[in-house]
A and B are shown apart, each in its own frame.
Chain A
Amino acid sequence: MDLERFKVHGEPLIYGAMISIALATIGIIVGLTYFKKWGYLWREWLTTVDHKRIGVMYILAALLMLFRGGIDAMMMRLQTAAPEMKFLDAQHYNEVFTTHGLIMILFMAMPFIIGLMNVIIPLQIGARDVAFPRLNAVSFWLFFFGAMLLNISFVIGGSPDAGWSAYFPLASLEFSPTVGNNYYSLALQISGIGTLITGVNFIVTILKMRAPGMTLMKMPMFTWSVLITNIIIVFAFPVLTVALALMMFDRLFGSQFFTMANGGMDMLWANLFWVWGHPEVYIVILPAFGIYSEIIATFSKKNLYGYTSMVFSMLIISLLSFLVWTHHFYTMGQGVMVNSFFSITTMAIAVPTGVKIFNWLFTLRKGRITFNTPMLYTLAFIPIFTIGGVTGVMLAMASADYQYHNTMFLVAHFHYVLIPGAVFAVIAGFHYWFPKVFGFRLNDRLGRHAFWWIAISFNVTFFPLFFLGLMGMTRRTYTYSAETGYGPLNMLSFAGAIGLSIGFLLLVYNIYWSTRYMPKDKTGDPWDGRTLEWATGSPIPAYNFAVVPNVKTRDAFWSAKQDNIPLFEEKITKIHMPSNTGKPFILGVIFFFFGFSLVFSLWIPAILSGIGILIVMATMSFDRDHGFYIPAEEVIATEKKLRGETV
């Protein structure tokens, strides 16, 4: 076997990365052994099927990936901070912008949102768990090992380097001969299957497991947004599955889908990629809209304005999201008629989005507003996202797009949409629901400090890119000459990027500080909340609700508090729970080896691990584990303890 293929040469930065990965791994192993935590880790986390713990693991993984992607971003901003920088070479720069995009969208934004979804949705609908707890664990481990597979590409064999959209013919074997894009097709495939399973799981959970009395139009807005998001996932991800499979066939088995000769068609990839890729944008942004709706209603002490129009605007957005994909490549010659059609559908999305913006503003109007960390992110989101939206309409005009296409203007636009749209939302949601999961709040003063660093630095980083784009600077350029005049604005942008890093470090410091010093919250309802998740104790007991709540109105918990309607009427009885299982984790590990073997065309290990996957699935089918019951006395004792009474 040719070991050379596994090595990455020449870059001191990569050697640094290798050493730090090795040290971190050794550190984790030594730490776990020293504190005798292996058993705890296995029993409580790796084998868990509890939606709350799975959610927490999703969020932890997303935070890790946020830092990996953030370091990529810093390297890019440093490399372009001044003309003729020698920090990264062209190849390394290509790898860094590719992995930055992939990681931030697929391994940061998505899992962060899916994590919040996991923690909150069963609570908001008054359920004890998701519909298929074991499958939920399978989803997580497939996502996790897909993410790990992409991350090791950096040090073993080389990262993908054809951009996160991996356009053909550039991404073909002919022009990208390294294994980088094999990693792309396999790592995304594995985590994509996990996401698809999540989609199925949450559709069933939301449609079939709501508390009695909660009709569809009484669901909290976050639940609505998640339902619609998962419908998009179920219809969009199979397209990615096919696209990635065809890419794998082209690269590993020499098929002719996207080639330049023998009847292949390179544009087919661009179309397939964006038929998935554009709905993907809404997969990360609709739940964000749901999070903001919850936060605005809670901290304005008002009902959400225009509930019905909120729901319908999301439905219209989800439909339109499948009808706009061509706007990503207006300049690639599909003619005036096609461009006009997609131009109109693209601009049409601004209408339902505008409806939502006005609904939030009307909810704020005459509200008693609390300015705390989650609310600040929400309030900052509205104007910043509007800038992103308006520049989006500029880009949507096909004829004008010939000027903006592939310039830094586009880069500025989508960061203006995705960062306030998705990142601010998950951070706001993180602060908002943190006390529910851990039983104490994050410090608000530190949180607001971090917010101002992040919000201001974000604009300093990305606003100059609009001008750079209009000046003609193309995206994905690794360096430029001083005569272009791009230097000063790029330097300003780099300064902003440093500010952003400080903001994110403050955010992490806040988690550390609050864990040590913040007082316990005994009420379970620290924000005077409106929806059912605040009706149970914090941290949430394993069974979520001792008694299934009876829902009569929208914002059920709020009206229960206002009008003294009892939410929980029945007596506490024994509660059925699913038992933990290690099989989803093992399945993830085998999928990892399967993917890795295919990346390097190691056929025998690939076939063996393929058989291994089938065997694990078969053993899961043969399991006759019907879970266990928590006895009523134990439930009553736990409930008393949560309310601070002595047992």
Chain B
Amino acid sequence: MKIDASKPLEYATEENSNKIFGFWVFLGAEIPLFATLFTVYFIMVNRYASGPSGREIFEIGPVLIETFLLLSSSFTIGLAIHAMRHGYKKAMMVFMAITLLMGLGFIGIEIDEFFTYIHEGATLQTSGFLSSLFVLLGTHGAHVSFGFLWGVAIMIQLWRQGINPATANKAFIFSLFWHFLDVVWIFIFSFVYLKGLM
């Protein structure tokens, strides 16, 4: 395999650069996916029937912690890639581990939030509004959970093989995915929670 030394490791082979471009195209497909879910949510937001509305169930506290965790994890995955570019395997692994732990914390709070809603009688079956809320949040949460498993798999490979064109490529693509989830969360935070609490 031809390695082009003038480029960063994750772009160094033709296959690598194709994979990164392909992942950008895939993120291009994720945009209409989430855009559709947001559209459904905006249509459903006032259709809460006999169930509670957003203002009645949203709590700002846990949501702020979720936001803090996810935004910081986007920063730490950036640091992990920075360490990778310098060839520091240990630093990279540490930053990835912090990222994934924060992701795990996010998932934990979200699950707790879901249980709280259900406990208050706000379930998936209650109203159109709640169905769309659960599915929008759930899709994002499922992405984070999948990202967690994916990140663990990449860390195992990094630990075994060190930083080489293949693992660097995987870690870089994972970081793109993680940043994307952060962007989606910013929209959820602003247009679901903040707008709902107004």
Size range of the chain A interface in the assembly: 35 or more
Interface check A175, CB cutoff 8 A: no
Using a CB-CB cutoff of 8 Å, which residues 289-338 of chain A contact chain B? Answer: none
Rounded to whole Å, the gap between the CB of B159 and the closest CB of chain A is: 12
Contact A263 B22 (CB under 8 A): no
Q: Mark B118-132, 1 if CB is under 8 A from A, else 0.
A: 000000111111111
Q: Which of A131, A249, A256, A262 contacts B18 (CB 8 A)?
A: A131
A466-474, A482-490, A579-587, A614-622 - the one binding chain B: A614-622
**Could you write out 16 A-B pairs with CB less than 8 Å apart?**
A200-B26, A200-B29, A201-B22, A204-B22, A204-B25, A234-B25, A235-B29, A235-B32, A238-B29, A239-B32, A241-B33, A255-B131, A256-B131, A262-B49, A265-B43, A621-B154
Interface check A171, CB cutoff 8 A: no
Query: Whole-angstrom distance between the alpha carbons of A276 and B180 in the complex?
Result: 23
Q: Which of A200, A254, A262 contacts B51 (CB 8 A)?
A: A262
Interface check B197, CB cutoff 8 A: no
Contact A256 B149 (CB under 8 A): no
Rounded to whole Å, the gap between the CB of B148 and the closest CB of chain A is: 12
Contact B25 A203 (CB under 8 A): yes
Using a CB-CB cutoff of 8 Å, which residues 202-220 of chain A contact chain B? Answer: 203-204, 207-209
Interface check A268, CB cutoff 8 A: yes
- Chain B interfacial residues counted at CB < 8 A: 44
Query: Whole-angstrom distance between the alpha carbons of A115 and B71 in the complex?
Result: 43
Q: Which of B31, B37, B48 contacts A263 (CB 8 A)?
A: B48
Collect the chain B residues with CB atoms within 8 Å of residue A242's CB.
Answer: 33, 36-37, 40
Given A196-B29, A234-B28, A268-B43, A626 and B1 contact (CB-CB distance below 8 Å) = yes
Interface check B75, CB cutoff 8 A: no
Contact B21 A265 (CB under 8 A): no
Interface of A is mostly: helix
Rounded to whole Å, the gap between the CB of B10 and the closest CB of chain A is: 16
Contact A235 B18 (CB under 8 A): no
Query: Whole-angstrom distance between the alpha carbons of A201 and B23 in the complex?
Result: 10
Query: Whole-angstrom distance between the alpha carbons of A253 and B124 in the complex?
Result: 8
A-contacting residues of B (Cβ < 8 Å)? 1, 14, 17-19, 21-22, 25-26, 28-33, 36-37, 40, 43-44, 47-51, 124-132, 134-135, 149-150, 153-154, 156-157, 166, 170
Contact B36 A272 (CB under 8 A): yes
Collect the chain A residues with CB atoms within 8 Å of residue B40's CB.
Answer: 242, 246, 257, 268, 272
Contact B157 A199 (CB under 8 A): no
Contact B36 A622 (CB under 8 A): no
Most B CB within 10 A of own CB, among A246, A263, A272 = A263
Contact A262 B127 (CB under 8 A): yes
Collect the chain B residues with CB atoms within 8 Å of residue A241's CB.
Answer: 33
B-contacting residues of A (Cβ < 8 Å)? 131-132, 196, 199-201, 203-204, 207-209, 234-239, 241-243, 245-246, 249, 253-257, 259, 261-265, 268, 272, 275, 576, 614, 618, 621-622, 624, 626
Q: Which of B36, B51, B127 contacts A239 (CB 8 A)?
A: B36
Contact A200 B22 (CB under 8 A): yes
Contact B135 A246 (CB under 8 A): yes
Collect the chain A residues with CB atoms within 8 Å of residue B14's CB.
Answer: 208
Contact B25 A209 (CB under 8 A): no
Q: Shortest 6 CB-CB distances between A and B: which pairs?
A: A263-B47, A263-B128, A238-B33, A255-B131, A263-B49, A242-B36
